[in-house]
Amino acid sequence: MTKIDKPGPDFDALIHEDRVHRTLYTDPEIFQDEMSKIFAAVWVYLAHESQIPKADDFVTARLGLRPLIVTRDGGDKIHALYNRCTHRGATICREVQGSTKAFQCPYHGWTYQNNGKISGVPWPDGYAGNALDEKFNLAQVPRVASYRGFIFGTLNMDAPPLEEYLGGVRGPIDEWLDRHPGGKVALCNANRLKYNGNWKLAYDNSADGYHVVFSHRSLLAMENRMVEEDDKGMTYYKDKPDDQPMYVRYFGNGHHFKDKRPNVEKRPGALWEIESLHPGMEHYEQDLRRRYRDKADELLDLASSEPVNINVFPNLLILGNHIQVLQPVSMTETDTTWWGTLVVDDEGVLAGAVDDINALRMRTQEGFPNFGEVDDLMNFEQIQVGLGAEEDEWVYMHRGLGIEGRISVDEGGVVTGPSTDELFMREYMKEYKRLMKAAPNLTITRDTGEA
């Protein structure tokens, strides 16, 4: 059991209502503490169940900087095993994904079942004691839980149950899933991008409606260049976004939400009408319209990007049809993976259109990571450069603060404001401060769950 109680930076001095100190993004000691006080102490997104659909499937993941293998054992139980040999620490599994009942360490050949149990040690007569003692089982994350396919883990025995941690953000997640047949999606492949900046820069941006028309000017222009009528893509951000019906919302526990759906009419085909044009889509649309006639609009809406940003603290960002996962690498390096998602039609309700819908989704999912995210990453890298200037200490996040009637708080503490408001950042930073000042009760287990 690990208790963290060493004195650290004074977070009351570093985080104020209207601003945060630059060292949150530049101090390696703070980063190191975040890997325990956040990326172990709260429920952290690890993987999606569709990546390990069958018994004995596995996928590698990380909990902060800890390398993990997320497995589904023969009894269908999901484990998050440390990808670290109990013998001398070597990485055991060097594949990203696959299927196996056991893992053998490449260094000296110790072998583990996919539930973490040690099962083989070469030439055990060289060991005085029991070579297969359970203390040599792989370490594993003691609490692993799924919410509708999203697998999370925490080392914190005092963390609330996952559903309670997610709280109000379950509402948008449910809506995002429920528009699909069977209320689910499966992950397909990903755009993998890396930036030289702190992981929080991406979280600070994830519900930011202020930057869009400026940072993504070329994307908006491109989306509309070939269109004669009707705006495409994110054009509801042009002019003054605060006059549009979209909003930003904070749910607590660091989770926030940008809802752009009120900009779109509620009728079949309305979502598809604003979908950006992508080369290669035309044939699929024409074919679906010819084959499905009146039903085609509903099917095309399933291929369209849902105009939401659902941000689950600290590392899961659901946007459009993507799942974006933030992976801190160091104080100034972050991996960001944009997983595409597929519609799954187990019940056959799409009457054979599922492959065409998924082909279209693939096209739509190529757009933003390639033409929009690069704008954001360039901003993050340039912020990191700017924050290197020690004398200029503060990062401001006060847009909307102190304006009477601009922000509302409901009886459950959910905060809502206009889409360019920085309330989401102010609120999550309060939670960040609380977490960084706490001493979480972190532990690992070597219990494989076998009877």
Residue 105 near which of ligand FES, Fe ion, none (CB within 5-8 Å, type-dependent) = ligand FES
- 107 is a site residue for ligand FES (CB under 6 A): yes
Cis previous bond, 181, omega within 30? no
What track of x and - describes contact with Fe ion for positions 358 through 377 (by CB under 5 A)? ------------------x-
| 108 touches ligand FES (CB under 6 A) | yes
Contact segment (CB under 6 A) with ligand FES among 81-89, 126-134, 231-239, 295-303 equals 81-89
Q: Which is nearer to ligand FES, 138 or 207 (CB)?
A: 138
- Which is nearer to ligand FES, 41 or 81 (by Cβ)? 81
Residue 105 or residue 435: which is nearer to ligand FES going by CB?
105
- C-alpha 436/C-alpha 8 separation (Å) is 9
Q: Which stretch binds ligand FES (CB under 6 A): 80-88, 179-187, 256-264, 291-299?
A: 80-88
E-strand stretches of 50-208: 57-63, 66-72, 78-82, 97-99, 102-104, 111-113, 118-120, 143-147, 150-154, 185-195
Nearer to ligand FES, 90 or 401 (CB): 90
Q: Using CB positions, name the residue nearest to Fe ion.
A: 376
Between the CA of residue 397 and those of 18, 20, 197, 251, 330, what are the distances in Å? 5, 8, 18, 18, 24
Identify which of 325, 334, 65, 336 has the alpha carbon closest to the alpha carbon of residue 196. Answer: 334
Residue 151, burial from CB neighbour count under 10 angstroms (0-12, 13-18, 19+): buried
Rule CB under 5 A: is residue 223 a binding residue for Fe ion? no
CB of 219 to Fe ion, least distance (A): 9
Q: Give the one entry of ligand FES, Fe ion, none that residue 107 binds, where binding means its C-beta sits below a cut-off of 5 to 8 angstroms depending on kind.
A: ligand FES
Nearer to Fe ion, 288 or 397 (CB): 397
What is the distance, to the nearest Å, from the Cα of residue 204 to the centroid of all Cα atoms in its chain?
Answer: 13
What does 34 bind: Fe ion, ligand FES, none (CB cut-off 5 to 8 Å by kind)?
none
- The per-residue DSSP string of 269-337 comes to THHHHHSPP-TTHHHHHHHHHHHHGGGHHHHHHHHSPP-EEEEETTTEEEETTEEEEEEEEETTEEEEE
87 binds, among Fe ion, ligand FES, none (CB under 5 to 8 A by kind): ligand FES
- Please enumerate in sequence order all residues whose Cβ is within 8 A of that of 319, keeping only pairs 6 or more positions apart, or say none: 206, 308, 309, 310, 368
Scanning 100-108, 130-138, 187-195, 382-390 for contacts with ligand FES by CB under 6 A, the matching segment is 100-108
Name the packing angle between helices 354-371 and 217-225 (round to 10°). Answer: 140
Q: Residue 43 Cβ, how far from ligand FES at the closest point, in Å?
A: 30
Binding partner at 376 among ligand FES, Fe ion, none, C-beta below 5 to 8 Å by kind: Fe ion
User: Restricting to residues 372-401, which ones interact with ligand FES according to CB under 6 A?
Assistant: none
- The CB-based long-range contact list for 92-95 (8 Å cut-off, 24+ gap) reads 92/138, 93/58, 93/60, 93/69, 95/60
Q: Which of 88, 101, 194, 283 forms a contact with ligand FES (CB under 6 A)?
A: 88
Amino acid at 151: I
Residue 327 to residue 337: CA distance in whole angstroms = 8
- In the complex with ligand FES, the residue whose CB is nearer, 111 or 215, is 111
Determine if 87 is a binding residue for ligand FES (CB under 6 A).
Answer: yes
DSSP notation for 16-63: -SSEEEGGGTT-HHHHHHHHHHTTTTS-EEEEEGGGS-STTEEEEEEE
Site string for Fe ion, 376-415 (x = CB under 5 A): x---------------------------------------
Binding of residue 111 to ligand FES (CB under 6 A): no
- Binding footprint of ligand FES, residue count (CB under 6 A): 9
Contacts to ligand FES by CB under 6 A: 85, 87-88, 90, 105, 107-110
Contacts to Fe ion by CB under 5 A: 376
